[in-house]
Structure 1
Amino acid sequence: MNEAIVVNRLSAAYRKTEVLSQVSFTVKPGTLTSIVGPNGAGKSTLIKSMLELHPRTAGEVSFLGQPYQKAKKKIGYVPQRGSVDWDFPTDALDVVLMGLYGKIGWLKLPRKSDREQAMEALRSMGMEQYANRQISQLSGGQQQRVFLARALVQDAELYFLDEPLAGVDAATERIIMDTLQQLKNRGRTVMVVHHDLQTVEDYYDHVLLLNRTVVAHGPTDEVFTAEQLHRTYGGALRWMREKV
């Protein structure tokens, strides 16, 4: 498989306002890609439209050569923390077990091996001691670790994360990025909506610059340049660094 993800002329709108226009790009397997752009650029909408969580007005998307409905068991997704109802009465272990429901079945009880697998995912995130803690009682960074553990337990081939580093502490940021790097090293394909321009070069080997359409996409050392950033952000660019 030469391409893990193919997006062809994807467009999307909210009510009658177009927020994505003719977005096209391909992603190679085993890459760690950041989606970068100004506020309102359509970064979250892009992921949601690709995963059929928001309707497309045009375009096609394939994952490992298949449409989403056929490939969805191979896909892990971590939404924005602010979009989740954290008051839902469940504990951290049960949240992670939700990632196994595709294998267990929605009407079946988890087996001991399933619970052990979920605990191992929590352990990899440094969260095993919080397994029985209500999700609403965890800090923002802890909640984000639990949701990443839920995605990890799926053992997916493709991972999509929507601003996983927003509002987390430094320790959680290191754990998340180390985990994503490990996934990449295992041949998994990862796309991340990212907001901190100063860490893009440190964290990602590919970058997709987006402002309602694709401005540039490719290896970070080729695409993440002052010229391309100014094309993406225009007058909204406020990143003070020697590159810019």
Structure 2
Amino acid sequence: MMPVLTVRELSASYRKNQVLNNVQFNIKPGTMTSIVGPNGAGKSTLLKVILELHPKLSGNVSFFGSTYNKSKSRIGYVPQRGSVDWDFPTNALDVVLMGLYGQIGWFKWPKKSDKEKALAALSQMGMADFADRQISQLSGGQQQRVFLARALVQDADLYFLDEPLAGVDAATERAIMDTLKVLKEKGRTVMVVHHDLQTVEDYFDHVLMLNRTVVAHGATKETFTKENIYRTYGGTLRWMGEKLG
């Protein structure tokens, strides 16, 4: 099967410091991949460079065998919650409708069917009762659910999520992971920047271990080993009470 994402010899810098060096990997369709690595490893930058939100120094990225511009209608993205201006005066329903602007057009009013799609996505995330609530009035977990609903309404084939579980409560974590599992079961492909190593094996069937370059990538059962964790994080990490290295 053709990869949904191919990354070749990708390098990038941030504030004059090189944070990605010769990154290479393929992502198969219908997989759910965790991107893990220490702070400063380039995980969020990798997503931004792939999605042309940050410039690259070198390398190539292709989606479904084509360019990002020709494929972006098939791609959904949920950025880190901390990167969003949650004081912007808008409600939850309007945030979700933003996910449809690529289909509606930026200068056209949403139709009734568009609002119905947005409400269905909010309902899927347990947020239908908050459709008219200002996003600044929502809790962190509720905000994250709204942003995931915005991605869901795009009905994409490939989803990127940057630490969607960071700082959320247990109920929201379950809701998000249940939603991503359903997407995978429908044949969609999901890539998630993830910080909790103890849930990698429970949540993801593939793992991409990154520390400025790809340390290891593959099926979680074969790839997420103590040796590869040590190679990715070094000897300062404790794993299940045991110091690696």
Q: Above 0.5 in TM-score?
A: yes
Tell me, what secondary structure is at the counterpart of 1:236?
coil
Partner of 1:165: 165
Residue 237 of structure 1 and its aligned partner are, at CA, apart by 1.4
Could you report, residue by residue, the CA deviation over 1:163-186 in whole angstroms, capped at 9, with x for unpaired residues?
000000000000000000110110
Give how far 1:16 is off.
2.0
**In the alignment, residue 104 of structure 1 is paired with which amino acid?**
I
3-state SS in 1 of match to 2:235:
helix
The match for 2:35 is: 35
- Is 2:41 the partner of 1:26? no
Partner of residue 80, structure 1: 80
Counterpart in 1 of 2:184? 184
Q: Deviations over 1:74-128 (max 9, x none)?
A: 1000000000000000000000000000111111000001001100000000000
User: Partner of 1:116: helix, strand, or coil?
Assistant: helix
**Which residue in the other structure is 1:145 paired with?**
145
Q: Describe how 1:63-212 pairs up with structure 2 within 5 A.
A: 63-212=63-212
- Across the aligned residues of Structure 1 and Structure 2, the Cα RMSD in angstroms comes to 1.1
Contact 1:225 1:243 in 2 (8 A): no
Distance (Å, rounded) in 2 between the aligned partners of 1:99 and 1:65: 24
How many Å apart are 1:235 and its aligned residue? 2.2
Aligned residue number for residue 13 of structure 2: 13
- Aligned-partner residue type, residue 118 of structure 2: A
Specify every segment of 5 or more residues in structure 2 that has no aligned partner in the other structure, as ranges.
none
The alignment-based identity, stated in percent, is 74
Q: What is the rounded CA distance, in whole Å, between the counterparts of 1:135 and 1:176 in structure 2?
A: 18
Please give the alpha-carbon distance, in whole angstroms, between the structure 2 residues aligned to 1:9 and 1:171.
Answer: 39
Question: 1:91 is matched by which residue type in structure 2?
Answer: N
**C-alpha contact (below 8 Å) 1:76/1:156 kept by paired residues:** yes
CA distance in 1, matches of 2:237, 2:188: 32
Aligned mates of 1:130, 1:15 — CA distance in 2: 39
* Partner residue, 1:213: 213
Cα drift, residue 70 of structure 1? 1.1
How many residues were matched structurally? 244
Deviation readout 1:22-64 (Å, 9 max, x if unpaired): 0000000000000000000000000000000110001000111
Q: Is the 8 A contact 1:33 1:191 kept in 2?
A: yes
Q: Give the TM-score, by structure 2 length.
A: 0.98
Whole-angstrom distance in 1 between the partners of 2:139 and 2:197: 25
Letter in 1 for 2:174: R
Contact preservation (8 Å) 2:7, 2:61: yes
Superposition deviation, residue 240 in structure 1: 2.3
**Structure 2: distance between partners of 1:78 and 1:101:** 15
Structure 1 position 67, deviation (Å): 1.2
The equivalent residue for 2:230 is 230
Deviation >6 Å, runs of 4+? none
* 1:241 Cα deviation from its structure 2 partner: 4.9
Contact 2:9 2:24 in 1 (8 A): yes
CA deviation after TM superposition for structure 1 residue 243, in Å: 11
SS in 2 for 1:235: coil
Counterpart of 1:10 in structure 2: which amino acid?
Answer: L
Contact persistence 1:207–1:218 (CA under 8 A): yes
